[in-house]
Amino acid sequence: MPRLKTTFLSLLALAASAMAAPADSASASTGAACADGTVISSVRFEGLEHTNPRVVQRELLNKAGEAFSTEKFETEKRRLQDLDLFTDITVSCDGSVAGVSPEPRTSNLEPRASNLTYTFQEIFRWIPAPAGKKTDRDGLMIGLALANLNVLGEDIRAEVQYRTSTDPFLDNNEYAFYASSPYLFGLPLGWNLEFLRTDSYDDIRGFQDDSWLLDLDLDYGISSHLSLLMTVAGRELKDAAFLPEFGFGFAFDFRDSKLDSRRGVYFEYMLTHVGEGDDRDFSCNIIDDGATCDGGMGGENYREFLTDARAYYTLWRFVTGATALVRYRLGDVERYDYYYHGGANTFRGHEADSNYLGVHEVLLTLEERFVLMERHAASVAGVNFFYGVQLVAGLDGSLLWDKGRPGWDDYEGAVYGGIHLVIPALDRIRLEVGYSPDKGEPVFYFGLFDKVTSSRWRSR
């Protein structure tokens, strides 16, 4: 379950990365300054001005009284980076810097003991900034946001936003509140709360989305690789019935990192029930290039089976990723909730329109990334952040259908390439060009987050 839904940083990060210089060499070091086997006498933290030490402590594998392990440090560093709170994390023994050994032992029989110090460079916390969101339905939306990325130092992220469409300007409006954290009262219970008010005309599915949404997603870690998932939501859509939603599932996660994954696999399975159903019908007539809908839009009553599979492998600077998202629905699904394909968040071969709608969907991607620049810590006017650059190329596959089994007529394929800017909060900014043989012309795309994330949460 993706935790990152904040989208306020896009323009800020682009400007900052162009101006930034890397942080000093000591903080930019990635090597562990302690030798394997060094006995840890104590563990200290430096640089935690806004973060509670227990937020860091629960991610650590090297413990006082045990022998230091570089392999453990690399693992815990990736776990700490997943918190999206720090631009850089280094370790040293007895205050030494990278490459400097601690004091030698006085005897070959005497175990070497050292104080282990973790040094952190915290990311920005309070951000009043432009808000941005890129969807296949509304295009680029801009506005204002106020966010705190680390409420009370407990790794709680909260944000309020107002966004409006740029084309047509001010016609589609959205008000949002997001809050999330990977822990709840010290328990490994990740939660993501979303409150969304939308007043937007959906020209893909042909209806006025005048709605209120309250959604809570939970992720309970049974072990380091297995989580139980649950979602509870309620949506009030004008001219339709109230749409409750309840889902339950589980996920196996063997990735080295949740953000910018380089190795490992992820499998998620989810069963969700949506709606209660009612007797009102949703009727639309296609006229020219648009759709007109009369009467009530009707209620829904369906079950959705979801499979989300991802696999990654790295060889030198080349990162190969393969992903598959499958969603199959049984029951009454109304047109206002049909899936669409087309755009940066689904199928990078054409734009989304009313010709590409379906009850069920399959999205397939095979992507090759070349890490042109690894993650670098930087600072501008006292604001700490990080950035990295990756070149990408890949294949997109799309299956979208209404009933029965899909056929070749329901399949589309495309190739794409581009450049990704890896940054805090948004995960990445994607600048890509896609080409589908069926369309015969290239299309430029601008997207936020990893595509596999935005595909899951693109509906609004």
At 131 the pLDDT is 65
At 125 the pLDDT is 79
At 144 the pLDDT is 82
Distance CA 169, CA 173 (A): 10
Residue pair 351/136 in contact by the 8 Å Cβ criterion: yes
At 16 the pLDDT is 39
Instruction: Name the strand (E) or helix (H) holding 79.
Output: helix 70-82
- pLDDT (average), residues 212-235: 97
- pLDDT (average), residues 104-131: 73
Residue 32 dihedral angles phi and psi, to the nearest 5°: -80, 130
Ranges of H-type helices in 209-322: none
Distance CA 457, CA 460 (A): 7
> pLDDT, tens digit, for every residue of 387-438?
999 999 999 999 999 998 999 999 999 999 999 999 987 789 999 999 999 8
DSSP string of 178-234? EEEES-BTTBSEEEEEEEEEEEEEETTTTEEEEEEEEEEEEEEESSSSEEEEEEEEE
Q: Which residues contact 278 (CB under 8 A, 6 or more apart)?
A: 241, 298, 299
At residue 331, does pLDDT exceed 50?
Answer: yes
pLDDT class of 129 with cuts at 50, 70, 90: low
Terminal alpha carbon distance of the chain: 17
Distance CA 220, CA 191 (A): 9
More confident residue, 97 or 80: 80
At residue 98, does pLDDT exceed 90?
Answer: no
More confident residue, 5 or 60: 60
At 241 the pLDDT is 83
At 407 the pLDDT is 92
Distance CA 151, CA 393 (A): 38
Average pLDDT, the chain: 84
At 279 the pLDDT is 44
More confident residue, 28 or 289: 289
- pLDDT (average), residues 3-14: 40
Domains in the chain: ranges and CATH: 31-102+109-122 (3.10.20.310), 126-456 (2.40.160.50)
At residue 33, does pLDDT exceed 60?
Answer: yes
At residue 213, does pLDDT exceed 70?
Answer: yes
Residue pair 78/152 in contact by the 8 Å Cβ criterion: no
At 326 the pLDDT is 98
> pLDDT, tens digit, for every residue of 270-301?
999 999 865 444 455 444 454 444 556 889 99
What percent of the chain is predicted at pLDDT more than 90? Answer: 61
CA angle 326–332–338, rounded 5-degree value: 50
DSSP string of 86-112? EEEEEEEETTPPTT---PPPSSTTSPP
CA-wise closest residue to 262 among 150, 169, 354, 375? 375
At 459 the pLDDT is 53
At residue 316, does pLDDT exceed 60?
Answer: yes
At 392 the pLDDT is 98
At 110 the pLDDT is 52
Distance CA 133, CA 9 (A): 10
At 154 the pLDDT is 94
Q: Which residues contact 368 (CB under 8 A, 6 or more apart)?
A: 318, 319, 320, 321, 392, 393, 394
pLDDT class of 135 with cuts at 50, 70, 90: low
Amino acid at position 338, single letter: Y
DSSP string of 394-453? EEEEEEEESSSS--GGGEEEEEEEEEEEEETTTEEEEEEEEE-TTT-S-EEEEEES-HHH
At residue 23, does pLDDT exceed 60?
Answer: no
Where b means 16+ CB within 10 Å and e means fewer, 234-267 reads ebebeebbebebebebbbebebbbbbbbbebebe
pLDDT class of 126 with cuts at 50, 70, 90: confident
Distance CA 182, CA 160 (A): 19
